[in-house]
Amino acid sequence: MKKYSYLFLVLFVFINCKNQQAITPTGLVTQKAMVVSAREEASKIGADIMAKGGNAFDAMVGTQLALAVAYPRAGNIGGGGFMVYRKNTGEVGTLDFREKAPLSAHRDMYLDSLGNVIPDMSTKGATSVGVPGSIAGIIEVHKKLGKLSLKDIFEPVIALAENGVKVTEKQAEILKGYRKTFIEVNSDSTKFASVYNAGDVIKYPALAKTLKIIQERGHDGFYKGEIAQKLAAFIQKNGGFVTEEDLARYQAVWRDPVRFNYKDLNIISMAPPSSGGVTMNQIFKMIKPYDLATFGHNSEKTIQVLTEAFRRSYADRNYYLGDPDFVEIPLDYLLKDSYLKQRMSNFSFDKATSSEAVSHGKVEVVESMETTHYSIIDADGNAVSVTTTLNGNFGSKLYCDELGFFLNNEMDDFSSKAGVPNMFGLIGAEANNIQPEKRMLSSMTPTIVEKDGKLWMVVGTPGGSTIITAVAETILNTYEFNLSMQEAVNAPRFHHQWVPDVLIFEPDGFSPELITNLKAKGYQVNIENNTIIGKVDAILVLPNGQLEGGADRRGDDKAVGF
């Protein structure tokens, strides 16, 4: 008996110490500073800025702009995004540079006379364009937190645009895939009507010229004067709604982050108009009573607990969340322990909960991989987490040849009509209806995690509606299952978003037996579609202070540092 008690004690200590075990890094390890982004060129420009004495905020400005050059499917100056930061003093904050609806926008602008959603109007071409926020965002970050001059930060990006960027295999494939739509939206004289093959170098002289004006005149260089006039005229000539006045009125907004604890982690993420922080807060509170480390990584039980938390939190997301400057969000209620405990009370390991039992709705899912994320830590320990987007791949596909950049189709992130799904299959409600100057609800979840009060992880991903679940899984992969940062990013992912009531798995990585068991419990599983879920770019601070990068194998992503 004594022998068994001892065995149980050893087992108990082992299980409870599981998440205390040292992690062996498998990604790039650097001593001081790092940028992880969707393209090596952008990570390098960010890292070089820090090597020259710039801080993480200067690197953010350079990386954002370099992605607009090297990764035009999502990197942008014609879109928007969110930044979460943590200074080495422990001060945290967020910047909302999300696009806004133009002044002339109204609730039913994408409906026909019978009240039906007009196909393509909120997704393709000038009618889908929201007022861009990215330049306001980076200039605001630089003004409040930067160290180097705009001249020094812009210089390497302008050189990149002038000298050109090599097309990768993945990029060539995607450019070919969209070529027909580029021509349809822009005419066959547009830059992207050309066929680009892997290894070709694309130069961006028009974008370089635009960047020089912003380098010199800052915020007003984009939102007033020559660029604003040309941009508004271009959008309107193509049938869109953004005016010079819309551009002149645009401002980025500093907002308080969403902060919550999960065991000894303190998670800092984006507040509305992003749904990321609130939804992740709900997920982590709902899963807290379950011992995932004991269940095992991507085991049946872990997948069930997470799926049921995802299902319930997305139902709330879609109903309650919107732009806090326009709608009252009952955050105290949504994040209350007792409410979330009650939400999970009908969960059983024996049987899937039906989404109809959580709420109503049935839609087709359309997954896509747009948006991009980058993570930065500087040599002083300042951390920056940014997710930025044009919404769809290459946004609206509308490319302003004269100014050298794509325009977003972010208006589709509003609910054009309550109960009708957007391009991600997400159903919206009145909280996310269209109003002049309102920001559309987002899933972008740039996140920073502290462990025992110290900076531990910087993380985020693209992936539309799958962003929130991919970020949550990555954090848990390292925290609960001791995966290195690179392993956590590489690990196969799964996703559920309440409606459609389908559990999506990435191919290769989940056993047929697991899938069969989940189906037997009533889960409607989709593993056949070859969907990839997210492209996570993250940094982990190792116990010795070194940094491990996690650059997603699913893309051309790269960690660069020193």
Contacting positions for ligand GLY (CB under 6 A):
371, 389, 391, 413, 442-444, 464
**Least distance from C-beta 59 to ligand GLY, angstroms?**
23
Q: Is 445 a catalytic residue?
A: no
Task: Choose between 461 and 478: whose C-beta lies nearer to ligand GLY.
Answer: 461
- Cα gap 474→513, rounded to integer Å: 24
Tell me: is residue 389 an annotated ligand-binding position.
yes
443 is in an annotated binding site: yes
For ligand GLY, the closer CB: 326 or 339: 326
Min dist CB 38 to ligand GLY, Å, is 15
442 is in an annotated binding site: yes
Q: How far is the CB of 368 from ligand GLY (least distance, A)?
A: 9
* CB closer to ligand GLY out of 442 and 490: 442
Query: What distance, in Å, lies between the first and last C-alpha atoms of the chain?
Result: 55
Pairing, β 34-37 against β 80-86? unpaired
In the complex with ligand GLY, the residue whose CB is nearer, 46 or 460, is 460
- 91 burial (CB, 10 Å; 0-12 / 13-18 / 19+) is exposed
CB of 513 to ligand GLY, least distance (A): 34
In whole angstroms, the minimum distance from the beta carbon of 424 to ligand GLY comes to 7
CA distances from 379 to 30, 288, 305, 374, 551 (A): 10, 34, 38, 17, 19
CA distance 236 to 265: 48
- Active-site residue (options: 371, 387, 466, 469): 371
If you search the block for the tokens 């049946």, which residue do you land on?
300
Residues in the chain: 562
Closer CB to ligand GLY, 390 or 485, in the complex:
390
Residue 113 assigned as binding residue: no
CA-wise closest residue to 506 among 496, 514, 495:
495
Closest chain position to ligand GLY (CB): 442
> What is the residue-wise DSSP string for 428-462?
--GGG---TTPBPPB----EEEEETTEEEEEE---
HSE-CB of 152 using CA atoms within 13 angstroms: 16
Q: Is 312 annotated as a binding residue?
A: no
Under a CB-based contact definition with an 8 Å cutoff, are residues 492 and 531 in contact?
no
As a whole number of angstroms, the distance between CA 515 and CA 505 comes to 9
Question: Does the annotation list 291 as a binding residue?
Answer: no
Q: Which residues are annotated as a binding site?
A: 98, 389-391, 413, 442-443, 464
Active site (catalytic) residues: 371
Per the annotation, binding residues for L-glutamate are 98, 389-391, 413, 442-443, 464
